[in-house]
């Protein structure tokens, strides 16, 4: 065991989904001392507010402010004003407060990753780690699923669906959409129940599944309510030697140890920039000494989420357990070369008090960027999402609107509608579009020879030693599914690599 006066073997910054996995898995090696640092609170499962325990989810940041970052802002489209950007804060991160959605990326996502320079990240190569993380409660014996893993995967039976779910299902099936019992099965394009990280009706955050069983280990230390300002480097060099907290405390890594950033798609890039790793212009603007010139925050991708309210009385849309959505239609538009399952349409049983239907663009061509405006570690960057600015995304959004028009004019919806539905035009869509809070590719993984790459396929920050980023920011493209399971897969896979080949 390393002498702690000489530093930690691993310092993990960020106790959210990726950080929880890394801390739990790396501390399985009893000879490695692991320190997990989290800016938010450490709330144990039994102390979590009721709003975050069951099938519901509550995105009101003012109701439980300790569970959110309040300094992040995003502009969805260049024509709109910036709005708050929601990201979970505390041990467990966004998995404590999210919509519970648990959908994998598809094979074509990883074909594209490899083509973009992420060698070794093909679907067949990552599948064992998707399996490892799961305790699939519905398909435990399927060869593509896991049994006994840290995160339960559950699909709500139809008798517990809401009114919008049932109308959506009946209309889609009548229009010829194929049914699949498992949306995470290979080749599952069509209508399926929504997979969620739930057991016995209760949310299981990533920290519940991973960190709770690991808390008794003497080689794992969890420090909450500590804000990391920057990574520190050897004098005049590029080897990471520790981190410095906002209050000035320095925490060293051991000789040969590593600093791992796992703070997410907006905060890991901000931490890199404060540490002197970013574009020359960003560093010069903020007056930060240059360590490595890399395009941090420059290749942002996000899933546009288009909310289409319908005149459905809440009592006709509601589900027995208050769940906003229990079924999804994933489809391939066949437009603009977007590939498999680039689109998703879901019903809304009353989220935000707006029953209706939502379009989710699961493959986004539009690219945004992070704008770094302050050295203050609490400030966070502005996310310029630039959604629906690429013509491909607009074309596929228009196609989605046409499909929604067919659905809501079907008799299944007419049975619950109080009035005729009115859908927006394509030019009105930016005002109906929300962030999914799935910001990715801001610390893009790829070939070291590619000018857009920040980390190599082993998640090592180019031009440095002893520094990695392991979270959704490293995705070469955001996957065509809610990113949680893919984040866990990345962290599981990298933890195994680190344990087999320690620095």
| Whether 359 and 316 share a structural domain | yes
Query: Is 494 a domain residue?
Result: yes
CATH (domain of 357): 3.30.410.40
* Rounded average pLDDT over 65-79: 95
Q: Give residue-wise pLDDT tens across range 191-232.
A: 999 999 999 999 999 999 999 999 999 999 999 999 999 999
Domains: count for the chain = 2
User: How do 73-75 and 382-384 pair as beta strands?
Assistant: parallel
Collapsed DSSP state (helix, strand, coil) of residue 22: helix
Q: pTM higher than 0.95, yes or no? A: yes
Query: Is 346 a domain residue?
Result: yes
Among the listed residues 235, 277, 305, 204, the one whose alpha carbon sits nearest the alpha carbon of residue 464: 277
Q: How confident is the model at residue 501 (pLDDT cuts 50, 70, 90)?
A: confident
Among the listed residues 258, 264, 262, 292, the one whose alpha carbon sits nearest the alpha carbon of residue 278: 292
| Whether 134 and 264 share a structural domain | yes
Q: Give residue-wise pLDDT tens across range 435-485.
A: 999 999 999 999 999 999 999 999 999 999 999 999 999 999 999 999 999
| Whether 421 and 480 share a structural domain | no
Quote the CA–CA distance of 465 and 256 in Å, as a whole number: 9
Query: Is 371 a domain residue?
Result: no
CATH (domain of 36): 3.50.50.60
Residues 6+ apart with CB under 8 A from 486: 104, 105, 472, 475, 479
What are the residue ranges of helices labelled H in 134-263? Answer: 163-174, 206-210
Active-site residue 438, yes or no?
yes
Burial of 110 (0-12, 13-18, 19+ CB in 10 A): buried
Residues 285 and 275: beta-carbon distance below 8 Å: no
Query: Is 80 a domain residue?
Result: no
Instruction: Print the SS3 string covering 291-337.
Output: CEECCCCCCEECCEEEEEECCCCHHHHCCCCCCCCCEEEEECCCCCC
| Whether 312 and 352 share a structural domain | yes
What does the pLDDT read at residue 1?
Answer: 34
| Whether 209 and 139 share a structural domain | yes
| Whether 176 and 99 share a structural domain | no
| C-alpha gyration radius of the chain | 22
Query: Is 78 a domain residue?
Result: no
* Rounded average pLDDT over 185-194: 96
Q: How confident is the model at residue 2 (pLDDT cuts 50, 70, 90)?
A: very low
Q: How confident is the model at residue 153 (pLDDT cuts 50, 70, 90)?
A: very high
Quote the CA–CA distance of 268 and 163 in Å, as a whole number: 40
Residues 363 and 280: beta-carbon distance below 8 Å: no
Among the listed residues 47, 42, 2, the one whose alpha carbon sits nearest the alpha carbon of residue 19: 42
Query: Is 503 a domain residue?
Result: yes
What are the residue ranges of helices labelled H in 409-447? Answer: 411-414, 429-432
| Whether 350 and 247 share a structural domain | no
| Whether 181 and 281 share a structural domain | no
Residues 6+ apart with CB under 8 A from 55: 100, 156, 196, 198, 201, 203, 321, 322, 323
| Whether 239 and 320 share a structural domain | no
* Rounded average pLDDT over 300-310: 97
Is the model's pLDDT at 260 over the cut of 60? yes
Domain that holds residue 36: 1-50+61-69+86-156+195-301+440-503
Q: Look over the chain and give the mean of its residue pLDDT values, rounded to a whole number.
A: 95
């Amino acid at each position: 065991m390393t002498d702690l006066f000489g530093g930690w073997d691993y310092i993990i910054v960020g106790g959210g989904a990726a950080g929880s996995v890394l801390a739990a898995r790396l501390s399985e090696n009893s000879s490695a001392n692991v320190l997990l640092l989290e800016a938010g609170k450490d709330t144990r499962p039994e102390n979590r507010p009721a709003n975050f325990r069951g099938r519901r989810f509550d995105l009101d940041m003012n109701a439980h402010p300790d569970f959110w970052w309040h300094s992040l802002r995003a502009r969805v489209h260049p024509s709109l004003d910036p709005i708050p950007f929601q990201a979970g804060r505390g041990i467990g991160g966004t998995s404590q407060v999210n919509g519970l959605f648990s959908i994998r990326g598809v094979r074509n996502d990883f074909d594209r990753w490899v083509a973009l320079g992420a060698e070794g990240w093909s679907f067949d190569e990552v599948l064992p780690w998707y399996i490892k993380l799961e305790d699939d409660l519905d398909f435990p014996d399927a060869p593509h699923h896991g049994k006994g893993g840290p995160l339960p995967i559950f699909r709500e039976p139809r008798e517990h669906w809401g009114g919008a779910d049932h109308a959506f299902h009946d209309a889609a099936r009548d229009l010829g959409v194929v049914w699949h019992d498992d949306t995470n099965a290979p080749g599952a394009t069509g209508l399926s129940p929504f997979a969620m990280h739930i057991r016995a009706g209760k949310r299981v955050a990533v920290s519940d599944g991973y960190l709770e069983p690991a808390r008794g280990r003497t080689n794992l230390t969890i420090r909450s309510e500590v804000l990391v300002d920057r990574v520190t480097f050897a004098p005049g060099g590029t080897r990471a030697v520790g981190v410095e907290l906002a209050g000035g405390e320095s925490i060293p890594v051991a000789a040969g140890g590593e600093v791992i950033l796992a703070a997410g798609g907006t905060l890991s890039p901000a931490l890199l920039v404060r540490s002197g790793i970013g574009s020359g212009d960003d560093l010069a603007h903020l007056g930060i000494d240059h360590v490595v010139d890399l395009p941090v925050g420059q290749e942002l991708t996000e899933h546009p989420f288009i909310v289409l309210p319908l005149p459905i009385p809440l009592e006709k849309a509601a589900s027995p357990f208050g769940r906003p959505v229990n079924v999804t239609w994933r489809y391939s538009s066949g437009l603009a070369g977007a590939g498999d399952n680039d689109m998703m349409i879901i019903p809304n049983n009353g989220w935000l008090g707006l029953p209706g239907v939502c379009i989710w663009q699961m493959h986004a061509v539009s690219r945004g960027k992070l704008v770094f405006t302050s050295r203050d570690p609490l400030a966070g960057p502005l996310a310029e999402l630039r959604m629906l600015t690429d013509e491909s995304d607009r074309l596929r959004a228009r196609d989605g609107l046409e499909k929604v028009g067919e659905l809501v004019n079907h008799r299944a919806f007419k049975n619950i509608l109080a009035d005729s539905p009115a859908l927006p035009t394509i030019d009105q869509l930016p005002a109906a579009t929300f962030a999914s809070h799935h910001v990715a590719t801001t610390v893009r993984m790829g070939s070291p020879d590619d000018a857009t790459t920040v980390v190599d396929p082993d998640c090592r920050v180019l031009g440095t030693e002893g520094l990695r980023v392991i979270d959704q920011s490293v995705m070469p493209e955001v996957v065509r599914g809610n990113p949680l399971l893919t984040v866990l897969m990345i962290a599981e896979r990298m933890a195994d690599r680190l344990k087999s080949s320690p620095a």
